[in-house]
Structure 1
Amino acid sequence: MWELAPEIGRKIIAGAFPIKAFRKPRAVPDTLSGTLGRVGALEVRLAATRKEVRKAQRLRFKVFFGEGGAIPDPKAALTRRDADKFDAFCDHLIVIDHEGKTRGGKIKPTVVGAYRLLRSDVAIKKRGFYSSTEYDIAPLLARHPGKRFLELGRSCVLAAYRGKKTIELLWKGILAYIRAYNIDALIGCASLEGSNPLAHAVALSFLSHHAAAAGEWSVRARRELHVPMNMLEASAFDPRKALAGLPPLIKGYLRVGAKFGDGAVADRKFNTTDVFVVMPVAEMDARYLEFFGGPCSERRAA
């Protein structure tokens, strides 16, 4: 989904790795510089230090490699962090439990949820979008010159926190980010657990028949990776049961009006089957925009 010799990993531990690899998170608008939402002991905001980014990476390692069966490369295995070349220039949205506890029972703020955010203006200057490694998104971007895209990626939540509160806080953070940067569309890859697409025939067929992106928002998996999603006829499954069986993240995307690209991608390194998500902000369900981030009219003009 989303490689370095062991000696490089040792240099990281020893502090000999080039400092630019852990550059301080970039400055953000004032509206994003503090708390973006809070429910009880849970707070959502952008990571403000290198240490907080590392905490998000450790959470990702725990979820992706510890729970999901992803295969760590030597660097990840040594540092116990999921990190790649994109992290240095992305913003990192985190949920913190201020009453989290260590194994010894000591109260310690703990990062329990995370999202990686990459804007198109940053992607153009750097290494492009992560999702372009699996999907041909160039035609989509070309059809919308001047539009501001935001790629959502590396989403994860600690098992004990996978409930309504954490998900709602993450969405509050995303909506605040959308408004601060006047984002026009959200894109990214979402995953189903397990890298055998045939095991997800019902889920993939449901998305293909009932939530396919079309026309100017259509996107197709790269030719060499493309796995057809419409494996079953629409009459061969119960759409309500298919919807209920989808991962919470994908169901959440559907609720706000997301559409899905043509073709799934088997990511064997991360043991997932990926689908492409596209959400034009203007077409997102206004009820959810208002619930998570206030009235749509608050979105500033370009």
Structure 2
Amino acid sequence: MVQSSKATVAPVASDVLGRIGNLETRLARTAREIDAAQAVRYRVFVEEMNAQLPADAMRRQRDIDSWDSICDHLLVLDRSLEGDSEDQIVGTYRLLRQDVAMANGGFYSSSEFDIDALLARHPEKRFMELGRSCVLPEYRTKRTVELLWQGNWAYSLKHGMNAMFGCASFPGIRPEQHALALSFLYHNVIAKDEWAVGALPSLARTMDLMPVEAVNSKKALMALPPLIKGYLRLGAMVGSTAVVDHAFNTTDVLIVLPIASISDRYVNYYGADAGRFAS
């Protein structure tokens, strides 16, 4: 695919999806806001996590790829900060609906995982991909995470989605450094049967690095990245194999979350109509 800096924008009518205190979440309304979100992604993925992006992206100090042009961009903004809305973006998620993806070359996750096989088993369901999740360090709090999920939940309801999926990452490119956490996922929350999915065969790395009796669940949960832990609380499953992403300096797993599997506790918390934090 050709790299592009263009991106779709949400109409102003989409408006705010939720608020907690000074923080609010909504879809990006302008190309300038998407550019600012790409700058936040650069700060997190490159400056903090040492990702290696294409030369043009590094020069522009923006995390940009061709999927940006077809995705909706969910933002968290801190309205107490001075400046325009572009200066207030502290977190972002990239959302891609199946109908849009299929009309534009497919999902980002398909470059690592066998998404086509998963979709083929569910022709009646509508999927959406979650990606490029990041929050600036000083905003990595429960409130920010809750707003991101408020936005995801409201978006999925608005568009009639049946399932979410997306890559989630461990830092570094040595899976054995995460043997406990990966083995915990493998033995406890692997997607099975109709939801089974794995990495592309040429990229697949085993997650079965420790026998089940050697896995201390409490320690494993503590070792999980917060984003993955949050997905599990919602009721997510994980693909059966991992992928090493050398460009982003990460070890990736695939999260699979059928809407029907989301814990009643969280549906009740955010509201069956996504009204919990709605403005």
Q: Distance in 2 between matches of 1:264 and 1:129?
A: 17
Which string of whole-angstrom CA distances, capped at 9 and with x for unpartnered residues, describes residues 108-127 of structure 1? 84110100000000001002
Could you tell me which residue of structure 2 aligns to residue 10 of structure 1? none
Could you tell me which residue of structure 2 aligns to residue 160 of structure 1? 138
| TM-score between the two structures when normalised by the length of structure 2 | 0.93
- Please point out which of 102, 106, 122 is paired with 1:144: 122
| TM-score between the two structures when normalised by the length of structure 1 | 0.86
- Please point out which of 1, 4, 9 is paired with 1:25: 9
Could you tell me which residue of structure 2 aligns to residue 98 of structure 1? 79
Relative to structure 1, the CA distance from residue 107 to residue 58 in structure 2 (aligned partners, 3 Å threshold; closer, same or farther) is closer
Structure 1 position 237, deviation (Å): 2.4
Which string of whole-angstrom CA distances, capped at 9 and with x for unpartnered residues, describes residues 7-42 of structure 1? xxxxxxxxxxxxx852551559x5xx1111111111
User: For residue 133 of structure 1, what is the amino acid of its counterpart?
Assistant: S
Which string of whole-angstrom CA distances, capped at 9 and with x for unpartnered residues, describes residues 143-193 of structure 1? 000211010000000000001000000000001001100100001100001
Q: Distance in 1 between matches of 2:217 and 2:68?
A: 37
Could you tell me which residue of structure 2 aligns to residue 287 of structure 1? 265
Could you tell me which residue of structure 2 aligns to residue 64 of structure 1? 45
Query: What are the equivalent positions in structure 2 for 1:1-302 lying under 5 Å apart?
Result: 21-25=5-9, 27=11, 33-100=14-81, 109-292=87-270, 294-295=271-272
User: For residue 153 of structure 1, what is the amino acid of its counterpart?
Assistant: G
User: For residue 112 of structure 2, what is the amino acid of its counterpart?
Assistant: E
Structure 1 segments of 4 or more deviating over 3 A? 106-109
**Please, which runs of 5 or more residues in structure 1 have no aligned partner?**
5-19
User: For residue 64 of structure 1, what is the amino acid of its counterpart?
Assistant: F
User: For residue 122 of structure 2, what is the amino acid of its counterpart?
Assistant: H
Structure 1 position 135, deviation (Å): 0.4
How well do the aligned residues superpose, as a CA RMSD in angstroms?
2.1
Which string of whole-angstrom CA distances, capped at 9 and with x for unpartnered residues, describes residues 183-215 of structure 1? 000011000011111111111100000111000
- The answer on whether the counterparts of 1:99 and 1:108 sit within 8 Å (CA) in structure 2 is no
Tell me which structure has the larger Cα radius of gyration. 1
Could you tell me which residue of structure 2 aligns to residue 7 of structure 1? none
Structure 1 position 73, deviation (Å): 1.9
Relative to structure 1, the CA distance from residue 297 to residue 22 in structure 2 (aligned partners, 3 Å threshold; closer, same or farther) is closer
Q: Distance in 2 between matches of 1:161 and 1:297?
A: 22
User: For residue 79 of structure 1, what is the amino acid of its counterpart?
Assistant: R
Seq. identity, %: 48
Q: Distance in 2 between matches of 1:75 and 1:168?
A: 34
Query: How many residues align structurally?
Result: 274
**Please, which runs of 5 or more residues in structure 2 have no aligned partner?**
none
Q: Distance in 2 between matches of 1:290 and 1:63?
A: 32
